[in-house]
Structure formats: C-alpha cells, structure tokens
C-alpha cells in the first residue's frame, strides 16, 4: 500500500516480517509442500460427481457430562435423546460462550464445558433443540447435554467474545451463518468455521501451526477439545509486543516472508549463456553431446534487485495519484502521460517491490479497461458472496493449508492468511459457473494476497478471468492452456526442429511437463522473486508471456534434449524441475526481445486462428504432441 506522498509501504495483508525489521537480505525459499506438485493437483474435479470429500468422526458416539445441582459435582451419565444438541444442520453461529477453567468451579455452567460428539449426524432438528454454541462448536458441531444449573452465574465475556460480538454487529453476514437450503453440511461446517475464526483470530498466527478443525475434526477427548479451545485468540495477542517465538520465526524469513527451507526435490539452474542469443532457427549439436545440466542442492538467495533505489525514484515520478481516500491515502494510480513511453522498458526491468501493489492494480485496470467504479462493484460482489454456499468449499478447504505454506502469512491453520485465501477462493468459485474452482487458482490468489486485501484480490481475479484469458484456461478441459501449448509447439517446430523431433521420438507430450506452468502462471516452477518479475510483464503484455517463458526453458536445454543419451525419463525429469535462473535480467531481456519480434507475433496470431479451426473441426487432439 502506498501513502499519500507516494512512498512505498507494505500492504496490510503482506508479511509481518516487514514490520519486524527493515528489508532483510533477499532470499526466497519455500517449504517443500507448496512447490511439490502432486499428480492430482490439476485434475479437473469439476467433471467428477464425487469430488467432495467427507470428514471423519461425524458419527462418533460418546456419553455426556451432567451437572448434579445438589452437590455441584461433575459426573458421567448418558444423555437422553431429547437432550442431544442439534447437529450441523441447526447450528447458528453466535458469539462463543466463555471458556471453562479449572480455577472457577463456583462460576461455571455446563455451557462452558467442551461439547461431546453426536451419536449420529442428523439432518433436521426441532426448534426446541436449537441453542447458542460454545467456542468448541468451531471445532465440532456436535451434541451436548443441556442440563445446567440456572442459579450458577456465568463469568463475564472474554475480550475475544467481545471482539466477535463487535464484528458481528458491524458485519453480521460474515460471522452469523445458518445453512442454506440444500447446502451440504460438511461444506457449511467449513464455511462457518472460517467465518468465526476470522472474527476471533487464532493464537500464534504466523508462528504456530494451529489446530485442524475441518479437514479432520477435533477429537472427542477433553484434552483435544481443550487444546482446540486454547488455540482461539482472546483478541489481545496483536496489541502488545511481538512474542519471542514470533521474533524467532520472523528472523528466519526472507524479504518476501518465506522461510529458508528447501522448496523442491529437483532444483536446476537455468543457465544464462544460451539466453544471450536471440531466438532463431538452430540445429542439433554436431557431436551429439548434450550440454551439462547444473543441479542445485539448495535454493540460493535471490539476488537483490539492481539499482532498486533509483528505480523506485523513477516509478515515483512516473505514477500519479488518481483517487485518495478520506485519510489522503492513494487508492488508485495512473501513469503520467509524459512517461507512457517508459512503461514497457521499466516494467521489464522489474517493478520495485514497494510500488508493486500500485503498479499491478494500475496495469490490470488498464488491460481490462475498468476503473475504480468497477472495483467498488466487485468489492460489493465479494462481500455478498461470503453469505452464499459453494459446492467447492470442501475442496478449497483441503487445498488452502498446502498453498504456499512456506510463507509466514499462511503458516498457521485458520490464521489471517488462510482465512483470507479461503474466502477469496470461495467467492471466486461462485463468480463463473463454467470455471467454478480448480486447484491452480490457489497459488495465484495467495500471491495476490501478499500485496492486496481480500476484496481487491477478488477484483484482481475477476479481471484476470475476464480480460487475461484465464476463463478459457480454467474452463473444463482447460482449452486456453491447450491453445498456449499449441503455440509453444509451433514455435518449437519453427525455430528448434531437432528439439521438436526429439519430443516426438521420445513420445513426450507438452502437457506432461507444461501443464503446471500454464495453470499456476509459473507460481510453482521458479523462485518467488522471479515469479513476481514474470507477473510484472504478464500484467502488461497478457498471457503470451507464459508461452515465451516456456519456449525460453526449452531453448536453454535444447542441446540436452537432442543429445544421443537423452531419453523419455531424463528429458521429462529435467523439464519437470524447479528452475533457478542464473541471471534474472538475462531471462527477462530474452523474453522482451522475443515478444518484440513483430513477425513472430504475427505468426502467433495466425496459429491461434488455426487452433480455433482445429477445435471447431474436432481435430485438436491430433494436433498436439
């Protein structure tokens, strides 16, 4: 986010590492989970009627706790059928009741005790059985005996409960939920859990793992439920000094908020030497020997951007505030007319990180030909979508914890980052009935959350969907991705005929290694700093940038692919690696020159029309490797 003077500051949803200290040394390294792509990550689950997963533990039976009013002692007893708490279909999420502590026996009621699991799930309950859930309804929407001593006074509300009540008063639609007609109860449990935990917050957000409540239910034991209850924030955690454990975690992240952990099991250096030669027709090496591939044991620190201070000053002069809020903070920017000619050159050199939020929003608005009014309408659409059920909620919940989990903002289960990611994907899954939700949307939304608040992330996703061809990329069958692959193959056939022949000889289809490139916009294939620079140009040029990046990777390894020793396994393993550019500027310069070739761009337009004709004739399947 940028202040009224044009100085760059991090957005409120960016990593808290920037609050702990000024820019730490630049290095990118995510944990293994976000960068390791499973075989099923790009399965089009929308075409499968059984894509929703159900949670375990929903039918566990147990006995209830009854308070003996004569002696105020807790004893075990079996609850009557009438006393069972209503199940998920009758939950109304109001502010949680006060938590039970062992030191306040004289002041607790049965509602302070953790609930026990229901003997069986139910789909309908009577009006009699509806009641306010306690904090543990977040982790287990289950039954509990309603016997309580009415004479026992309840302890005063905690700060966390007051905070939830305030948020419900301000925006009841986000936290006060009831199931919609026909809504799957597992999906409702997911949606309601995220809504309440976003309002209350969770302890240790950013440095603790958190407690799982949706992908697997909290256990029925008192210890499990007490731990789940203890993980709920009391509303005061972020008001004081940083916790020593949080300081320790923040000391181990890079400038973008990523932990210094291995990110991929196959790290390969993308050599700069081949990128010094522009794209032109080439032949196989005469001796048939492949170039040496350099594998890396660990991810090296990303080099600091060259001349970042001077480039920051240039972008400060180039951008002009267009709309300010009541506090004089700039909300929308535009390019000064006298600096229009400098935009492309400076974008390829890399947008300074402190200006990236403003520049990205400005570039998307320009490309989509939409302005602040459209942003306000999309923000309203986002808020309204939070009240609506989505058939993809269970799948989204499964994917959220494994999306960029190596980032400090997404580390804690149900922390601010994970809640924002869930709500953005939930809302976006309702935007287009054709696309719905696919797993490749997660890394894209998570990247945007590093720079924007959830409402503006949703608006950005809509613009990417409508103006940047992502509708066709995410539609069933991924037709936009197949079109990009067709363009990649035509470029390879024209400029690297021996490479194209080697792919045919080894029966290597482009979809076998390039699918994740085009679906996630290279979010899981290059270091984060390199990804940001690719996205800088993508938001300026459009989706063809990713075709150029794919061709660049094949171009760098062309001698290895055509070597006599090459085979199916070696080539496919190489192209499925995580690529670490030896020189980011050399790669971006090569992309710039390639996309500036007017003859090539003309051919790409012609090939795109050829592809549409093949699709219309039903021959697209035989047109690809």
Collapsed DSSP state (helix, strand, coil) of residue 581: strand
Confidence band for 366, pLDDT divided at 50, 70 and 90: very high
Mean pLDDT, rounded, for 347-352:
96
Residue linked to tokens 């035989």: 622
Cβ-contact 385, 430 below 8 angstroms: yes
CB 446 within 8 A of CB 418: no
Residues whose CB falls within 8 Å of the CB of residue 235, separated by 6 or more in sequence, listed in order: 158, 159, 160, 162, 163, 200, 201
**CA-CA-CA-CA torsion sign (407, 413, 417, 422):** positive
Give the pLDDT score at 475. 96
**Does residue 198 have a pLDDT over 80?**
yes
pLDDT > 70: percent of the chain? 70
| pLDDT number for residue 350 | 95
**For residue 38, what pLDDT is reported?**
38
Mean pLDDT calculated for residue range 58-78 = 37
Average pLDDT estimate for 194-198: 91
For residue 287, the model assigns a pLDDT of 61
- The pLDDT, as a whole number, for residue 237 is 72
Of residues 45 and 507, the one with the higher pLDDT is 507
Do 65 and 145 form a contact (C-beta atoms < 8 A)?
A: yes
The predicted-structure confidence for 230-255, as pLDDT tens digits, reads as follows 888 877 777 778 888 888 888 889 88
Q: What was the pLDDT predicted at 46?
A: 54
For residue 409, the model assigns a pLDDT of: 93
The pLDDT assigned to 52 comes to 41
Is it the case that residue 47 has pLDDT exceeding 60? no
User: What is the per-residue pLDDT for 167?
Assistant: 43
CB atoms within 10 A of CB 117: 22
pLDDT at residue 147 greater than cutoff 90: no
Q: What is the pLDDT of residue 98?
A: 38
Identify the weakest region by mean pLDDT among 218-222, 254-258, 328-332: 218-222
Of the pLDDT bands very low, low, confident and very high (cuts 50, 70, 90), residue 117 is: very low
pLDDT at 241: 83
pLDDT in the model for residue 595: 96
Phi, psi of 174 (to 5 degrees): -85, -25
Average pLDDT over residues 208-216: 88
Residue pair 419/197 in contact (Cβ under 8 Å)? The answer is yes
Give yes or no for a contact between 253 and 15, defined as CB atoms under 8 angstroms apart: yes
pLDDT in the model for residue 304: 80
Quickly state the pLDDT bin for 513 (edges 50, 70, 90): very high
Question: pLDDT of 123-141, one tens digit each?
Answer: 333 333 333 333 333 433 3
Reference 552, options 528, 571, 568, 575; nearest CA is 575
The pLDDT value given to residue 155: 54
Choose among 101, 139, 105: nearest CA to 231: 139
Q: Please give the average per-residue pLDDT across 427-433, as a whole number.
A: 97
Confidence (pLDDT) at 74: 35
pLDDT digits (tens, 9 = 90+) for 370-413: 888 999 999 999 999 999 999 999 999 999 999 987 899 999 99
User: 82-116 pLDDT, tens per residue?
Assistant: 333 333 333 333 334 333 333 433 343 333 333 43
Taking only Cα atoms into account, the Rg of the chain, rounded to an integer number of angstroms, comes to: 27
- Kindly tell me if the per-residue pLDDT of 341 is higher than 60: yes
What integer pLDDT is reported at residue 451 of this predicted model?
97
Q: Which residue has the higher pLDDT, 560 or 144?
A: 560
Minimum mean pLDDT range among 150-164, 299-313, 344-358, 481-495: 150-164
Residue-wise pLDDT tens digits, 5-44: 444 434 434 433 333 333 333 333 333 333 333 344 344 5
Whether 254 contacts 15, CB under 8 Å: no
For residue 269, how many C-alpha atoms fall within 13 Å in the half-sphere facing its CB?
A: 17
The pLDDT assigned to 378 comes to 96
Mean pLDDT of the chain: 77
Q: Phi/psi zone of residue 559: left (φ > 0), alpha (ψ -120 to 50 degrees), beta?
A: alpha
| Nearest alpha-carbon partner for 195 in 92, 87, 59, 85 | 92
Residue range 252-266: mean pLDDT, rounded? 79
pLDDT tens for each residue of 291-307: 789 999 888 887 788 78
Domains in the chain (CATH in brackets) are 155-252+351-468 (1.10.8.270), 479-622 (1.10.472.80)
Maximum mean pLDDT: which of 21-25, 147-151, 363-367, 403-407? 363-367
pLDDT (0 to 100) of residue 216: 80
Residue 218 has a pLDDT of: 75
pLDDT for the residue numbered 5? 42
CB-CB contact of 407 with 425 (8 Å): no
pLDDT at 459 over 60: yes
């Amino acid at each position: 986010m940028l202040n009224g003077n044009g100085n760059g500051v991090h957005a409120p949803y960016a990593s808290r590492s920037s609050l702990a200290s000024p820019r730490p040394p630049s290095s990118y390294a995510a944990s293994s989970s976000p960068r390791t792509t499973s075989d099923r990550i790009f399965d089009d689950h929308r075409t499968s009627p059984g894509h929703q997963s159900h949670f375990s533990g929903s039918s566990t039976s147990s006995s209830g706790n009854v308070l003996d009013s004569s002696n105020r002692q807790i004893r075990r007893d079996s609850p009557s059928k009438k006393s069972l708490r209503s199940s998920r279909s009758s939950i109304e999420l109001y502010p949680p009741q006060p938590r039970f502590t062992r030191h306040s026996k004289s002041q607790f009621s049965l509602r302070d005790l953790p609930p026990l699991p229901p003997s069986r799930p139910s789909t309908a309950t009577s009006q009699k059985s509806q009641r306010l859930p306690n904090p543990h309804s977040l982790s287990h929407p289950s039954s509990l005996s309603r016997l309580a001593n009415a004479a026992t006074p309840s302890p005063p509300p905690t700060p966390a409960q007051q905070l939830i009540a305030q948020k419900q008063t301000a925006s009841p639609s986000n936290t006060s939920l009831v199931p919609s007609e026909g809504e799957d109860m597992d999906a409702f449990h997911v949606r309601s859990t995220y809504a309440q935990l976003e309002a209350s917050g969770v302890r240790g957000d950013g440095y603790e793992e958190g407690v799982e409540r949706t992908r697997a239910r909290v256990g029925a034991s008192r210890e499990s439920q007490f731990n789940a209850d203890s993980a709920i924030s009391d509303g005061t955690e972020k008001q004081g000094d940083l916790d020593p454990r949080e300081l320790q975690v923040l000391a181990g992240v890079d400038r973008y908020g990523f932990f210094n952990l291995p990110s991929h099991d196959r790290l390969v250096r993308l050599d700069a030497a081949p990128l010094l030669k522009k794209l032109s027709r080439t032949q196989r090496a005469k001796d048939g020997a492949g170039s040496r591939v350099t594998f890396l044991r660990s991810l090296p620190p990303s080099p600091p951007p060259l001349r970042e201070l001077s480039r920051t000053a240039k972008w400060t002069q180039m951008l002009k505030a267009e709309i300010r809020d009541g506090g004089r903070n700039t909300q929308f920017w535009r390019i000064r007319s006298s600096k229009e000619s400098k935009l492309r050159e400076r974008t390829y050199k890399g947008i300074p990180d402190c200006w990236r939020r403003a520049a990205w929003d400005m570039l998307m608005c320009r490309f989509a030909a939409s302005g602040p009014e459209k942003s306000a309408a999309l923000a309203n659409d986002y808020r309204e979508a939070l009240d609506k059920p989505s058939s993809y909620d269970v799948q989204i919940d499964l994917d959220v914890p494994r999306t960029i989990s190596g980032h400090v903002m997404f580390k804690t289960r149900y922390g601010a980052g994970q809640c924002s990611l869930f709500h953005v994907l939930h809302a976006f899954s309702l935007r287009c009935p054709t696309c719905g939700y696919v797993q490749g949307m997660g890394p894209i939304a998570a990247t945007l959350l590093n720079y924007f608040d959830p409402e503006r992330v949703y608006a950005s996703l809509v613009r990417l969907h409508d103006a940047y061809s992502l509708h066709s990329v995410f539609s069933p069958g991924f037709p936009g991705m197949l079109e990009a692959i067709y363009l990649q193959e035509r470029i390879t056939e024209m400029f690297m005929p021996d490479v194209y022949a080697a792919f045919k000889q080894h029966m290597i289809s482009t979809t076998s290694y390039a699918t994740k490139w085009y679906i996630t916009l290279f979010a899981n294939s290059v270091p984060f700093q390199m990804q940001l620079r690719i996205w800088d140009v993508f938001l300026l040029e459009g989706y063809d940038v990713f075709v150029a990046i794919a061709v660049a990777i094949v171009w760098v390894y062309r001698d290895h692919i055509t070597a006599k020793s090459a085979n199916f396994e070696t080539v496919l393993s190489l192209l499925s690696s995580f690529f670490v550019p030896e020189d980011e500027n050399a790669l971006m310069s090569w992309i710039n020159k390639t996309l500036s070739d007017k003859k090539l761009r003309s051919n790409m337009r012609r090939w795109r029309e050829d592809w549409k004709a093949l699709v219309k004739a039903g021959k697209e399947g035989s047109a690809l490797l």
